[in-house]
Structure 1
Amino acid sequence: MDKDVTLRLAQQEEADALLSRSPLAALVGMLLDQQVPMEWAFSGPYTIARRMGADDLDAHDIAAYDPEAFAALLSAKPAVHRYPGSMAGRVQKLCQYLVEHYDGDAAGVWRGAASGKELLARLTDLPGFGKQKAQIFLALLGKQLGVRPTGWREAAGAYGEPKTYRSVADITGPESLRRVRAYKQEQKRAARP
């Protein structure tokens, strides 16, 4: 990840700083990004780290955490997600996968990927990451974090297109957040019968 980039997905300084320096926080935020506002999802990793008494997230620590205690940690008010118990299990599964396959190093998912197609396959293999979520995260890596293996835009599909406002990959501040929200609302309207 490009260390000079500050993500602005949570729209909170401390939460965005964590997302910017921690590949695991970025992955966990992306995992949480469903059925809640984007800012809520991407502030989740910061809330989890604070509640664990840490400055960062550690895949080994989360993977080994007692599942009931971890669910309680995410459920404490204000809850990390609309479905904190379910999402606690998903976060732990993601971290267990990262420990098993990448020795807990979240950046290992994209480090050394020879192509966008390979990186998309690695992301799709992550627990909780379907094709769309993987493509959005791939677009975020390419557009904002300097992770650009050959063919990354094509692998990211429409989310990789330049100068669009489709997803979190395109959010760099309040104005782009507003434009992404407007795009999503238009998509919902168009999908209605």
Structure 2
Amino acid sequence: MDVTLHLAQDPEADALLGRSALAALIGMLLDQQVPMEWAFKGPATIARRMGADDLDAHEIAARQPEEFVALLSEKPAVHRYPGAMAKRVQQLCQYLVEHYDGDPEAVWRDVTDGRELLKRLQDLPGYGEQKARIFLALLGKQLGVTPKGWREAAGAYGEPKSYRSIADITGPESLAKVRAHKQEMKAAAKAERAAKAGR
């Protein structure tokens, strides 16, 4: 991997995301219940605190859990829930070591079918269906991973210029469009709940 991503909105953190498949997978894992930029800065923060320029699945998997929790909890914390997320990051790395010899790009390197890739992503610890579809769309739209049927497997996130998720963020303008879409979705969900409550 050697691309330019704009998810952390921070040059150093984005550079790591663009060259490290593991950083991108961990950033996606952290992207819940915190602002996107905070989540995607996480991998660079973890690497820096481990005294490394890059992330290694074997090294993270082998860390003592208490030590890794402390590393993510150090101020400023890597996530709003550093303890829970430290456990998830380690589980992800342990899975990669066990199933892919610690090579995260092996998750998608030889896959020729979008549905198979979606299944592999959903099998990753901490990746539900939605997270797997979004990451699949990111792979297809920005990282050049385009197995047959990848757009269909990614669902609405795979549609060209849909601006529904991080898969479409390439700079400030597209970030604003994705944020606007998310606000619209929240407003629609809120209106739906209010309508149901009023019945």
**One fold, TM greater than 0.5?**
yes
RMSD over aligned Cα, in angstroms?
A: 0.6
Whole-angstrom distance in 2 between the partners of 1:110 and 1:102: 10
Q: Which residue of 2 aligns with 1:56?
A: 54
Aligned-pair distance for 1:114? 1.6
For 1:20, give the aligned amino acid.
G
Whole-angstrom distance in 2 between the partners of 1:169 and 1:136: 6
Greater Rg, structure 1 or structure 2?
2
For 1:95, give the aligned amino acid.
C
Q: Which residue of 1 aligns with 2:5?
A: 7
Of residues 150, 153, 157, the one that matches 2:151 is 153
Q: Which residue of 1 aligns with 2:88?
A: 90
Structure 1 stretches of 4+ moved >3 Å: none
Of residues 38, 41, 57, the one that matches 1:40 is 38
Q: Which residue of 2 aligns with 1:27?
A: 25
Deviations for 1:160-183, whole angstroms, at most 9, x for unmatched residues? 000111000000011111111111
Whole-angstrom distance in 2 between the partners of 1:139 and 1:184: 17
Aligned-pair distance for 1:30? 0.3
For 2:124, give the aligned amino acid.
L
3-state SS of the aligned residue for 1:10? coil
Q: Does 1:167 align with 2:165?
A: yes
Q: Which residue of 1 aligns with 2:14?
A: 16
TM-score (norm 2): 0.95
Aligned-pair distance for 1:124? 0.3
For 2:46, give the aligned amino acid.
I
Q: Which residue of 1 aligns with 2:176?
A: 178
Aligned-pair distance for 1:185? 0.8
Whole-angstrom distance in 1 between the partners of 2:92 and 2:42: 15
Give the unaligned 5+ runs of structure 2.
194-199
Identity of aligned residues (%): 78
Single out whichever of 47-56 and 173-182 deviates more from structure 2: 173-182
Q: Which residue of 2 aligns with 1:101?
A: 99
By relative contact order (CA 8 Å, sep 6+), the higher-ranking structure is 1
Give the unaligned 5+ runs of structure 1.
none
TM-score (norm 1): 0.98
